[in-house]
A and B are shown apart, each in its own frame.
Chain A
């Protein structure tokens, strides 16, 4: 422990010098000496605290409440009062699983040691590479200074303890995707609980999982699963697409078939009705003179039909021999 460091040596010189000078009843010199002395005194009695800090004052090692706010202040000089400014507004950050130079209790850290920090076991006994950050601030500077020796190391250790415990309670897939926020929140609460138990005076602001990855050796297999999932969706979508392409069209075509049948029905029935009507009308007239009409119709038909035929034979049924033929077509018809 040193009380004011160089100030003390300076002071002794000054005193000795002062004693010599005083014995001579000097005029100007003692004044200069006293002036210097006062300067040194002021230098070790006045201190300033920044706007984002509070000063924790100890007098002979004992804490004097309360912490002082920002601005210029006086204290007892020459190491009687000591002031430590603590940044209470600032948010500090710790990273885990990321290469950062750190000094700590442990020095046996190799260069690849960040994997030691980030590789952890999950609840289903697999291994994950988990990286996260913790942000914290000082909530009680007095606790911070007087209760634990290495507040930052406490944050680091507790963060690892807690994060690994929670990751160990979830499955690989949960840590990778679905339960990240849940783990953040739980870790936050649990860390705060332990830090409060240790009375570190630290307030956790956030705990946040950053990169969570399967270890390099198994990454391809994990990617394969994702691809397989996507493929599953793709195949199903294709099938749905085919379904959507064909079924509505078939429905339309079915509708068409039915409409066509309806059309056919209408057509048939209308035609039949027409023919029936025609027949009835004709019949009504025919009944007035059946014989003559019949003959007329027959003969008219013959007139119409016979000229079309290529060959006509006339046979007398009474003859059993071969019939003489009369070619009506060449004879020009009836005589």
Chain B
């Protein structure tokens, strides 16, 4: 029991001594190590994780990142090919692929960042300057095609309707391609460069706001007048239909009346033609009845039928 304990304790002590003497060092999954002897690198970088050994005291382990690292530059003011000033903010991903070279050329991440700043900023500047603004904003020509389809209900500047040939994605690829070439001498690989933000500089932004406002106002006017136009159209249609309906009705009514009147004439003619004399006689009598009233003055000659008996009787003489 006691012996076992002694052995165990001795073992622990041994391990601790070894750990403290600097013979062993641990490489984490996220790290790689360059061993330096009196400040000079010795051998190849150690990239596999686990427990490693070195000479104590004279050799030092220098740790470097093995993971994908990020780079985020300051925004740059860059003029595009069509002389628009924009802020461009890029971001990149890089890794240390050759720790030895890295140690010798830039020493640490701070130094690396400075180099990457130079590389990417100049690549970005060159690329953006060579292209139109729309190329950095848009990625395809879908807006242009869309406008053709939808027609006039879309409010869009002519400038934005330029067809692009490259597009944002391609520009990123160009920047990456240009920047990639310069990275290996620092033991660095540039994995990716992306345009994170593109924004107008302040005074351009003001102008854009003004343009947006005037565009919207124009559209608002258009919508309003469209409304008025449609209203006039509907009102006109209404007036037309109203006239059509009333005149059509009038025409039909008059037609019907005419037909009836004609028929009536026929009926009368057929009846009275049986004896026109008698009809005239009857009708005349009827008109007497209808027309003679208390305001009428009647002058009768003694020749009239009404007096012929009077004369015949010789009463008046």
Question: Residues on A close to B: CB < 8 A?
Answer: 1, 3, 8, 11-12, 15, 18-19, 22, 30, 34, 58-63, 104-106, 108, 116, 119-127, 145-150, 153-154, 157-158, 160-161, 164-166, 168-174, 194, 197-199, 214-215, 217-218, 221-222, 224-225, 227-229, 231-236, 238-240, 242-243, 246-247, 250-251, 253-255, 257-258, 260-262, 264-266, 268-269, 271-273, 275-277, 279-280, 282-283, 286-287, 290, 294-295, 297-299, 301-302, 304-306, 308-317, 334-335
Contact = CB atoms under 8 A, between A and B. Distances in A.
Contacts of B159: 125
Given A60-B49, A253-B249, 16 more contacts: A120-B199, A126-B157, A149-B69, A157-B91, A160-B196, A164-B198, A168-B168, A169-B140, A221-B216, A224-B220, A232-B223, A232-B227, A257-B250, A276-B272, A301-B285, A308-B296
B297 A309 contact: yes
A290 B278 CA distance: 9
Contacts of B295: 310
B315 interface: yes
Given A257-B249, A309-B294, A149 B68 contact: yes
Interface in B243-262: 245-246, 248-250, 252-257, 259-261
A169 B143 CA distance: 7
A153 B292 contact: no
Contacts of A125: 133-134, 137, 157, 159-160, 208
A231 B221 CA distance: 11
Nearest to B304: A314
A87 to B, nearest CB: 19
Contact of A63 (B49, B288, B302): B49
Given A120-B197, A161-B91, A242 B259 contact: no
A150 B288 CA distance: 123
Interface of B: 5-6, 9, 12-13, 16, 19, 26-31, 48-51, 65, 67-70, 72, 74, 91, 93, 133-134, 137-140, 142-143, 146, 154-157, 159-160, 168-169, 191-192, 194-200, 205, 208-209, 211-213, 216-217, 219-224, 226-228, 230-231, 233-235, 237-238, 241-242, 245-246, 248-250, 252-257, 259-261, 263-264, 267-268, 270-272, 274-275, 278-279, 281-282, 285, 288-289, 292-303, 305-307, 310, 315
Contacts of A168: 137-139, 168, 198
Contacts of A214: 212
Q: Which residue, of A11, A254, A304, has the highest number of chain B Cβ atoms within 10 A?
A: A254
B223 A198 contact: no
A310 B254 CA distance: 43
B260 A264 contact: yes
Contact of B300 (A8, A145, A221, A313): A313
Given A233-B227, A247-B241, A254-B245, A124 B221 contact: no
Q: Which residue, of A148, A170, A234, A257, has the highest number of chain B Cβ atoms within 10 A?
A: A257
Given A3-B19, A268-B261, A314 B196 contact: no
A250 B245 contact: yes
25 contacts: A15-B9, A121-B199, A126-B208, A126-B212, A127-B208, A149-B30, A150-B70, A158-B194, A164-B197, A165-B139, A168-B138, A198-B191, A217-B209, A221-B216, A225-B155, A236-B231, A236-B234, A250-B246, A257-B250, A261-B257, A305-B292, A312-B299, A313-B297, A315-B299, A315-B301
Nearest to A302: B306
Contact of A58 (B29, B67, B168, B241): B29
A165 B168 contact: yes
B70 A157 contact: yes
A102 to B, nearest CB: 13
List the 6 closest pairs (A to B, CB-CB), nearest first: A265-B260, A254-B249, A232-B227, A276-B271, A261-B253, A228-B220
Nearest to B113: A105
A190 to B, nearest CB: 10
A144 B66 CA distance: 13
A244 to B, nearest CB: 9
A157 B72 contact: yes
Contact of B307 (A122, A240, A251, A314): A314
A106 B69 CA distance: 14
Contacts of B72: 104-106, 157
Nearest to A227: B220
Contacts of B241: 247, 250
A266 B252 CA distance: 15
A314 B68 contact: no
